[in-house]
Amino acid sequence: MTAGKSAETARPARRRLTVDRRREELMAAALELFSRRDAEDVSIDDVATAAGASRALVYHYFGGKQELYVAALRSAAERLESRLRPQGGGRPLDELASGLACYFDFAEEHAAGFAALLRGGPANRTGEVGEIVDGVRQRLCRQVQKQMGVEEPGPVLRATLRSWIASVETAGLDWLEHRDIERPTLERMLVDQMVALLAVAARHDGDVGRLLEVLGERPA
């Protein structure tokens, strides 16, 4: 009796797990397709076929292609951000370097999702998708500021940090496209770029000069 009851209780939990996993599989298949083709060229049937599911199941879980697209992007964004959560305690530039290594690990392991999220390409790109991408950028920016001990950046530092993040995104996409630079080289280049961009910013804003000193670098 007790065993029977326990099995009864366990069933919904097992079912839930299966539902979540099925949903994940559909999203993974969708991300893979969306990152290789324009969203308008990907049908619900394509996603169903790629995931070995029925068209009805895709509609059941997501309602429609736009919802599936947004859910898949959101999942990619969450995975990226959970990777980038800083460990804390290290020197800011070392933390930046390990953050970059995580970023490129993600880009490499989830190449399709990374490209879908950041290439800014696929059709049916809605306000919702724009918000996901901008949200990731803003949180990355705040994370970098925190690592550097900056509370509220002035205009010059804000523009510089945004430029650096754009540079990292572009380098990530360029690397996925060509893979003709060694990853460690590219990651070192991007840390060096941060220092170089801050040194340029320091010529126009004394606060950035002081920040560079805190980072153990000398303004150029």
Q: Is 87 in the site for its own copies (CB under 8 A)?
A: no
Burial class (CB in 10 A: 0-12, 13-18, 19+), 163: middle
Q: Is 159 in the site for its own copies (CB under 8 A)?
A: yes
Query: Which are the contacts of 152, defined by CB distance < 8 A and separation ≥ 6?
Result: none
**Rounded Cα–Cα distance for residues 180 and 182 (Å):** 7
Amino acid at 185: T
Secondary structure string (H, E, C) spanning 45-80: HHHHHHHCCCHHHHHHHHCCHHHHHHHHHHHHHHHH
Site track for its own copies across 103-122, x = CB under 8 A:
----------------xxxx
**Nearer Cβ to its own copies (51/175):** 175
Q: Is 101 in the site for its own copies (CB under 8 A)?
A: no
Q: Is 186 in the site for its own copies (CB under 8 A)?
A: yes
Q: For the chain, what is the total number of helices (H) and then of strands (E)?
A: 10, 0
CB of 12 to its own copies, least distance (A): 38
Q: Is 152 in the site for its own copies (CB under 8 A)?
A: no
| Binding site residues, its own copies, CB under 8 A | 38, 40-41, 119-127, 129-130, 155-156, 158-160, 162-167, 169-171, 174-175, 178, 180-181, 185-186, 188-189, 192-193, 196-197, 199-201, 203-204, 220
